[in-house]
Structure 1
């Protein structure tokens, strides 16, 4: 099964079909299991109440994006950081942090920003590699800021509280924002970006006006977390609340959501959800085979045979996850690797919420790196830039993120502080 899977990946077959066909070969080759069982797993794999959060949040994000949210957030981000060295690169990072609470998708965020900001950054004197590198890597922040689609899928597969994962992602997301901004400042000063451009600092009045203009977008993740924390709705129900909220804001407050924009949001949502759900359905067959063959226990014995020390074991698992992220799409990786590695780290005493944040960040990071990064290919194709040029520009930011991940490994309370505090532990 695994050989067929990697062969299909090598010939560039769509990931959902590669997973599904490879898993079916197992049922065809073995006499112990009927082929109908594979079809049943394909169908039942998507029939889960927590999984309903995915299509709802995807739809809410698309509605907010066509409702004038993005232009307002760009203006606010520009006022906050436009006067700094490498100002437009800082704008991209802050925008990713703010949009993380709306889109939930790193690739969607990077694709949108590369269309809007790249041209202005190049005209301002930044190298093209640097420009799309910071746009691509900064979109990683959306993997931790709620409502992250990756965290929803991890919580669904691993049986981990999605509400706790949402709360745990806040501090790492903010730390990633500051880490990337620090990296931009160092690189920009070293290369002399914006050295001959003087941008006046915004006044408090300008900041306040811009903040009020996009307050409804900024309230979105706050309302979501407060509602989940105090039991007004579950994470799944929060997705439905998000759709209603997006419709109200777009129609009655910003008044930019018309029938044409709404149809576009529905069309884009159907495309995104179809891709995600097809991967989930195919991965359900794959996951059944993994469980049937007792692969988690085998992998656990293999890794724990190397070391039983929790931190070292966690680093080994994360390294394997990172390697997998280099070759596979993030959604598929989450669905395939969670049932294998989560039991191992839990047995070693690692908190599943802590591991979930680190795993989703590393898996998503694989989308920004060669050889098969989906986000990387998206920004390169939109800006017509070579993978080599992107890789050179993104290198300092990738290094900065890896350093932050190592810090989060050794200081788990940076991840667990918010959920522990809000849960009263």
Structure 2
């Protein structure tokens, strides 16, 4: 597998699309094994696309695009505005709250950050917000969507690691809310120093908040309905994705009456593009995954780590540092696809709860979306906001500190992740 990883790294440096880099490098493994038939890679790719659990991913992507076409985003933004308008950095606070509410709609960090940068970004710069600061707020707050159901990373981890997706969704709730809290505090502190004043003098009265809450209720309810449906066995993960799509259609056509034929066609086109990219990556990653299992890399890595230290805490810390560094160079989706099968057996041998480990793994890997040299979310918002990466990093470091504090808290206090799953699903 050494040659496979060397080729994969070279292809990435040369700018080859990640899916092709994985696929070509993975195929080289089979060329090195003359006793394996060359028809096997084709069979692996096809069988990977037929994984029933992965059916949830295109369904959730479709549901998120549908909800964005039904006016839910604007309703959630108005609700977030009345909640935070009296705070320092009011528009930046709107971004944090909106990401928290949008987690149940998009499930994607890049989609959320790009959407907010386009909708809120121009208004914030007109009000005097620094472009780098605006980009940093949108990018870091978008990480909340990674943890709030239905995060795509959690679905991938659950499908590959054979971990309950329902428990993972429930486990992501508190970390997501913690990120929202710490990012909100960070916005408040930095906005006071920079002079970003509140949008309104007084807190919005209840009679103003309640109507906006009612208008946003369908979107706010969605992640909770999803978790409860999984909890009581009404849905399995793949069915939950279909439920999400039907829910979005009903909301768009019946509740809000804003989903028209043109919107629907645009939604289908964007969904096909998104799904094609994701599923192509998943399918080709099967080649590398097979090679890892064939050469017993998980078992070898487990023994190597146990040889470094007998302390589970030390080994866990090493894994987290490794994931954090790797996330700076490789997209989080790729890391989850390639390393879940390796790390889950190690976590099991260390005695770690796989839901606890999975939520931390997904959030830690996603941190790399915001750091050079690969940070996809960072580059997306910097491009939209027309600011440099240096300006982004200069303004974003307080948010990075807040994110690291949240990761440290959920690592040190496992019940922050496990309390809700244990409450809903049992221990």
TM-score normalised by the shorter chain: which range applies?
Answer: over 0.9
SS at match of 1:35: coil
Number of paired residues?
424
- 2:395 matches 1:393: yes
- Residue 123 of structure 1 and its aligned partner are, at CA, apart by 2.0
Contact 1:311 1:409 in 2 (8 A): no
Contact 1:313 1:345 in 2 (8 A): no
Alignment correspondent of 1:54: 57
Alignment correspondent of 1:281: 283
- Residue 198 of structure 1 and its aligned partner are, at CA, apart by 4.5
Match of 1:232 among 215, 231, 234: 234
Equivalent positions of 1:405-424 (< 5 A) are 405-424=407-426
- 2:85 matches 1:85: no
Contact 1:326 1:367 in 2 (8 A): yes
1:206-237 Cα shifts (integer Å, max 9, x gaps): 10010011111111112111111111111211
Equivalent positions of 1:272-421 (< 5 A) are 272-421=274-423
Contact 2:131 2:386 in 1 (8 A): no
Contact 2:5 2:25 in 1 (8 A): yes
2 CA distance for matches of 1:231 and 1:341?
28
Q: Any gaps of 5 or more consecutive residues in structure 1?
A: none
TM-score, length basis structure 1: 0.98
Q: Any gaps of 5 or more consecutive residues in structure 2?
A: none
Match of 2:266 among 264, 276, 291: 264
- 2:144 matches 1:148: no
1:224-252 Cα shifts (integer Å, max 9, x gaps): 11111111111211111111111111011
2 CA distance for matches of 1:411 and 1:362?
16
1 CA distance for matches of 2:60 and 2:254?
20
SS at match of 2:120: helix
Contact 1:163 1:225 in 2 (8 A): yes
2 CA distance for matches of 1:288 and 1:356?
21
1:347-400 Cα shifts (integer Å, max 9, x gaps): 011111001001100111111111101111111111221111111121111111
1:153-188 Cα shifts (integer Å, max 9, x gaps): 000010100010001011111111001111111111
- Residue 417 of structure 1 and its aligned partner are, at CA, apart by 0.3
Q: Once structures 1 and 2 are overlaid, which stretch shifts more, 344-353 or 307-316?
A: 307-316
Alignment correspondent of 2:97: 94
1:43-88 Cα shifts (integer Å, max 9, x gaps): 1112111110000010001001000000000000000012100111
TM-score, length basis structure 2: 0.97
1 CA distance for matches of 2:203 and 2:409?
33
Contact 2:49 2:283 in 1 (8 A): yes
1:116-141 Cα shifts (integer Å, max 9, x gaps): 11111122222111111010011001
Equivalent positions of 1:41-190 (< 5 A) are 41-190=44-193
- 2:228 matches 1:246: no
SS at match of 2:233: coil
Contact 1:141 1:176 in 2 (8 A): yes
SS at match of 2:308: coil
Alignment correspondent of 2:201: 199
2 CA distance for matches of 1:370 and 1:69?
32
SS at match of 2:418: helix
1 CA distance for matches of 2:108 and 2:425?
27
1:310-345 Cα shifts (integer Å, max 9, x gaps): 222111101111111111112111100111111112
1 CA distance for matches of 2:37 and 2:52?
27
Contact 2:85 2:200 in 1 (8 A): no
1 CA distance for matches of 2:95 and 2:402?
16
